Structure 1
């Protein structure tokens, strides 16, 4: 009998959200509520002419667009088929059997999957009040710790750490521990990212971003990150060559060169998010303050969350259950168009009124 290696046999496959069927509106995958930049769409159409050719394996134009958007050195940038590719390659390159990847209780679940792929242990640190605690992370470090993974802003909580706390974390960790900062939702966080990007120059920190969220390019699968040269050399050994399609590179570069459109989308999304959160808090749901394009909705217990989920599904709305994150009493709702968010709040208001 042919058998996979032991760590692969022991792990579970990474599970994506249930996107429902016909007639369902999915608010389960944190997709953008708005279309991509018209400039990105035009660039994608033009790039189709080059479909017979392999894409640029060094992402030259996309790197230039990232450099222009963030004033970063292009030589330190790597691009991936979504940020998931970059996270997976980082963890597989720098952790293995006997090593520990230190993360947080409600951090992005794919980090656990990547640790299992590498045969490393994943250690989850509690998040009091749905927020990462640098103090608790530092207390959990052991000699086996090789990587610390922090999602900021957090997924699925939506909360965020001040940049100064991330800097404190890095400055207190051992120099032989790689710090990975996943900033998939950074465009929704008004903090100046310069201080966190500057940590990469130390040689022991990587910062990862994506164009799936604020830029509305989830279907293109484009992620990027800033990496120390010694880290990047090892990662490229594991990354697929020609990993980002030519059309995706063209659309991503054009989207980055249209920052006004992205900022407008972020402002509109935040207004819808904050309006929905305020209305849900008014009916007794303790929604944490979010710095992302989603909100976490806590209920009294897992049973009430399941009943709310059933009511939402009956109304054609599909949210993401959070049991896999150790939050069975919570649902996560992506911010959708205004009429969808109104319908979501209406359903939950009727549900909560029926519970009284």
Structure 2
């Protein structure tokens, strides 16, 4: 008789990554930075490789101090992980189990559904409005079984934001035994002051997550961080693997966070390319919501039109992300890449619209 996995694992679908068609092809499908990390981060990583025979600091001491200095938060509230995915997975595992619910939104980051399925909990979606999170929809979907509410702001794959005041309203209206997780993976692209949201962590019922994969260009290093009240952090750390952030990744992360000027320049350059690309698409007749991330959502007249555009771009060696897994079959998501690739993609899409 063949071995069988646990029933809830057998019932899962694997988390779907983008079909890149090979790493030698230009991709606008991964939400990676269009620009390399800070030269200081690269140099720090190269130096750290010589110490790879030693285990990394399991408490991320230097990185927590650097983040605290850069973001005006307390280092004792910071947990780090192998990307924000690690922190999402461990937080859900610590606070949701079989028969309980994790409540997200229509277009929240799909990995949350995968992380929920691993625990045997149930993932529920509240409707979004105009591709944006709706606090009223979330509150209407809360049930006695709700253990976690997960909000991605700015959103992925939509790129949209809601104001901080709405997040504060959401937290105030939720029960005290419901953990609110606010994923701000693209927070550096949002012009709102993060401090009111960060301050929610002091309530001991809210977690705020960030990553160094986007604005800092460290997707390959796999470093994420978040703000956790001590009572929540203690449970999440039980689930985390020890030494999960490598020595080289820690060194790169410290140097990257300390180079705030480089990060801000990266964000500004990315936003400039993004806004020009989005506006030109709107002028050509595409529906493109306002984005506060490093990507844009492109709406087409039909699912068939979106599939044709994705296929045409791929034939030109440009890969974008199809969004069937989000139910957005009539949309594609395009990461902001180098200007030359964005210009090529734009010409193809405009030509298709005018054909």
TM-score w.r.t. length of structure 1: 0.98
Structure 2 CA distance for aligned equivalents of residues 59 and 258 of structure 1: 18
How far the C-alpha of 1:71 sits from its partner, in A, is 1.3
Higher mean Cα deviation, 20-29 or 57-66?
20-29
SS in 2 for 1:281: helix
Structure 1 unpaired stretches of 5+: none
Distance 1:169 1:22, change over 3 A: closer
Secondary structure of 2:231's aligned partner: helix
Residue 335 (structure 1) aligns with: 336
Q: Does the CA-based 8 Å contact 1:23-1:316 persist in structure 2?
A: no
Partner of 2:158: 157
**SS of 1:179's equivalent?**
strand
Rounded Cα–Cα distance in structure 2 between residues aligned with 1:211 and 1:136: 30
Give the drift of 1:203. Answer: 0.4
Cα separation, 2, equivalents of 1:24 and 1:52? 34
Give the aligned partner of residue 318 of structure 1: 319
Q: What's 2:182 paired with?
A: 181
Checking the alignment, whether the CA contact within 8 Å between 1:309 and 1:319 is kept in structure 2 is yes
Secondary structure of the structure 2 residue equivalent to 1:278: helix
**Which residue is 2:37 aligned to?**
36
Listed one character per residue, the Cα deviations across residues 224-281 of structure 1 (whole Å, up to 9, x for unaligned) are: 0000111100111110100100100000010000000000000000000000000000
Q: Using a 3 Å threshold, how does the CA distance of structure 1 residues 276 and 48 change in structure 2: closer, same or farther?
A: same
User: Normalising to structure 2: TM-score of the pair?
Assistant: 0.99
Encode CA deviations 1:16-43: one digit per residue, 9 max, x unaligned: 1111237621100000000100110111
Q: Matches of residues 3-152 of structure 1 in structure 2 within 5 Å?
A: 3-21=4-22, 24-152=25-153
- Superposition RMSD on alpha carbons, in Å? 0.8
Partner residue, 1:231: 232
2: distance between equivalents of 1:298 and 1:267?
25
| 2:208 corresponds to | 207
Q: Give yes or no for the alignment of 1:274 onto 2:275.
A: yes
Q: Structure 2 regions of 5+ residues with no counterpart?
A: none
Q: State the 4+ residue runs in structure 1 displaced beyond 4 angstroms.
A: none
Question: Structure 2 CA distance, aligned partners of 1:24 and 1:351?
Answer: 22
| Inter-partner Cα distance in structure 1 for 2:122 and 2:331 | 26
Structure 1 residues 71 and 23: CA distance shift in structure 2, 3 A: closer
Query: What do residues 66-107 of structure 1 show as CA deviations (whole Å, max 9, x unaligned)?
Result: 111111111111100000000000001100111010000100
